[in-house]
Amino acid sequence: MSAEQRLRDLGFELPAPPASAGAYVPSVRTGNLLVLAGTLPMRDGKVAYAGKVGKDLDVATAAEGARLCALNALANAKAALGSLDAIKRVVMVQGFVNGVDGFSDSPKVLNGCSEFLVAVLGEAGKHARAAVSVNGLPLNAAVEVQVTVEVAG
Amino acid sequence: MSAEQRLRDLGFELPAPPASAGAYVPSVRTGNLLVLAGTLPMRDGKVAYAGKVGKDLDVATAAEGARLCALNALANAKAALGSLDAIKRVVMVQGFVNGVDGFSDSPKVLNGCSEFLVAVLGEAGKHARAAVSVNGLPLNAAVEVQVTVEVAG
Amino acid sequence: MSAEQRLRDLGFELPAPPASAGAYVPSVRTGNLLVLAGTLPMRDGKVAYAGKVGKDLDVATAAEGARLCALNALANAKAALGSLDAIKRVVMVQGFVNGVDGFSDSPKVLNGCSEFLVAVLGEAGKHARAAVSVNGLPLNAAVEVQVTVEVAG
């Protein structure tokens, strides 16, 4: 089954790639790596999960936001590669949570992204990760992920 | 026209590579990638843009700082490669803004770096990017960028 | 002398690889790169250096924590590669300090990691680095490092 079919079976549609939030491009290919720009929890051109995690929204809600970040990252990957099936492996996820000072649950938030990538891509979705809490994100998003994937050579 | 000529036409001179702020090296080459260390807005050995963005300095001033970070990254690239023309492509910029809590304009700050890289390097300067606000940077710098480039094989 | 022998001569033992803090894997190999997940200052399954640097612990203590992060990263590298001697070069260290607002000494904290990598691996341990202070880390750890290494081809 294709990754996009699995995505649909999970109840998701691949959105149009998100608009760039600045003077950069959504992805760059170098060798067999596709380095994706950071993605936010955008839906229909708006931040769907905004604010400080631990104050404005809870961990479970922010984890949904992280899943939406991953969906937008996949949209960028598809735009670059033509098909999600060209992803040989998700290499790395760098996750940033817009947390209150001292926020220590960034892994639980980022699991929303990580579990989704594995659900859609299977073994190819398993990745290394680093998660931190930061004091602010673009457009006041609750979470941002930056994904790097390996492309079939 | 060479990248260094374009740099001069824009009114800039490539500085001496910045001194390391710690026990690391300014860049490492691996395959066709040159991974540059994080660079700060240093000029003549001092941080020229310091403090919290949103309190001590505004977004436009911090964007000038991001441009200076990029200039220092280019100085490190030239030291490693001999010429900026050996840069085949800027792959990724990771941008960190020393923002007040809740700072959401990191993309506008980082555009100072991103637009400069494109002005100097043209198409080769277009990169993926992730931008966040953090609660502190080395030497109280207002902004830090970490740049990875692909080198002509 | 092997890297593990140098490690022992320095008074350290390579621990068991740390448990994953979430839905990710400890490392991913892509080409000649081994991308390691972020590691925390874990010892015997617990965070040994917790809290805010600049309030709960000082820079020198946090630097010990950064060294422990590096030790855990090496444990993950050994688990993936079979031997630390398969590390051709440490490419990059991304360092995150759980600092008080405005914390500007992240380089001194991260030197605990960087100097250790060079002590253990020699020239192969010299890496590029970016260090920042963030407002929160997983499990309230004081420091986190994310290491990428090049593997002998």
Asked if A96 has any chain B CB less than 8 Å from its own CB, the reply is yes
Give a yes or no: residue B92 inside a domain.
yes
The arithmetic mean of pLDDT across residues B55-64, rounded, is: 98
For the cut 90, the answer to whether the pLDDT of residue B22 exceeds it is no
The mean of the pLDDT values for chain A is 97
Domain that holds residue A112: 3-151
Neighbours of chain A (3+ CB pairs under 8 A): B, C
Q: List chain A residues with CB under 8 Å of C24.
A: 93, 114, 126-129
Nearest to C128 among B25, B135, B136 (CB): B25
Asked if B26 has any chain C CB less than 8 Å from its own CB, the reply is yes
Instruction: Compute the CA torsion angle B48, B51, B53, B59 (nearest 10 deg).
Output: -20
CB atoms within 10 A of CB C29: 15
pLDDT of residue A21: 80
Q: List chain B residues with CB under 8 Å of C137.
A: none
The closest alpha carbon to B37, from B14, B21, B15, belongs to B21
CA end-to-end distance (rounded Å), chain B: 21
Interface confidence, given as ipTM, is: 0.97
Confidence of residue A82 (pLDDT cuts 50, 70, 90): very high
The closest alpha carbon to C4, from C76, C63, C78, C68, belongs to C78
Give a yes or no: residue C23 inside a domain.
no
Nearest to B23 among C104, C115, C148 (CB): C115
For the cut 80, the answer to whether the pLDDT of residue B49 exceeds it is yes
Give a yes or no: residue C130 inside a domain.
yes
Per-residue model confidence as pLDDT tens digits over A84-140: 999 999 999 999 999 999 999 999 999 999 999 999 999 999 999 999 999 999 999
C139 min Cα distance to partner chain B (Å): 18
- Indicate which CATH number applies to the domain containing B102: 3.30.1330.40
Give the position of tokens 């490669």: B81
Percent of chain A with pLDDT over 90: 95
Number of domains within chain A = 1
CB of A62 within 8 A of CB of A97? Answer: yes
Q: Which residue of B has its CA nearest to C109?
A: B22
Give a yes or no: residue B19 inside a domain.
no
Asked if C53 has any chain B CB less than 8 Å from its own CB, the reply is no
Contact state of C94 with B146 under an 8 Å Cβ cutoff: yes
Per-residue model confidence as pLDDT tens digits over B83-138: 999 999 999 999 999 999 999 999 999 999 999 999 999 999 999 999 999 999 99
